[in-house]
Amino acid sequence: AQSVTQLDSQVPVFEEAPVELRCNYSSSVSVYLFWYVQYPNQGLQLLLKYLSGSTLVESINGFEAEFNKSQTSFHLRKPSVHISDTAEYFCAVSDRSNDYKLSFGAGTTVTVRA
């Protein structure tokens, strides 16, 4: 069975500072990995995904995540955050053995201050 652990529940950060959100997963098979973002009072939007190939994946708004198979991690980073990045971020994993159902972490709330 899959499980996802997001190591930080709250991350306060100043505008233009870097941020890293940590995600570890457990699965016995090859996985697909996702980061979703939820802005206040909205649904979840896909931020980026790892399916195969290059272990470094990027989003259009400056986030990146690196798949590390040996450490079973998929940490999310942004070198310089904006106020508009204030949101909750969810790491999720799926694999073929579970018919690609998503297992979510508990979420990390990022609050960006000026």
Partner 1 sequence: NAGVTQTPKFRILKIGQSMTLQCTQDMNHNYMYWYRQDPGMGLKLIYYSVGAGITDKGEVPNGYNVSRSTTEDFPLRLELAAPSQTSVYFCASRPSAYEQYFGPGTRLTVT
Span from 18-26, 56-64, 79-87, 95-103 in contact with partner 1 (CB under 8 A): 95-103
Tell me: does residue 34 bind partner 1 (CB under 8 A): yes
Burial 99-108 (b: 16+ CB within 10 A, else e): eeeebbbebb
Span from 54-62, 66-74, 75-83, 96-104 in contact with partner 1 (CB under 8 A): 96-104
Burial 72-98 (b: 16+ CB within 10 A, else e): bbbbbebeebeeebbbbbbbbbbbeee
Interface of this chain with partner 1, residues 51 to 90, rule: CB under 8 A: 51, 90
Tell me: does residue 26 bind partner 1 (CB under 8 A): no
Using an 8 Å Cβ cutoff, are 91 and 33 in contact? yes
Tell me: does residue 9 bind partner 1 (CB under 8 A): yes
Which residues are near partner 1 by CB under 8 A?
Answer: 4, 9, 32, 34, 36, 42-46, 49, 51, 90, 94, 96, 99-102, 104-107
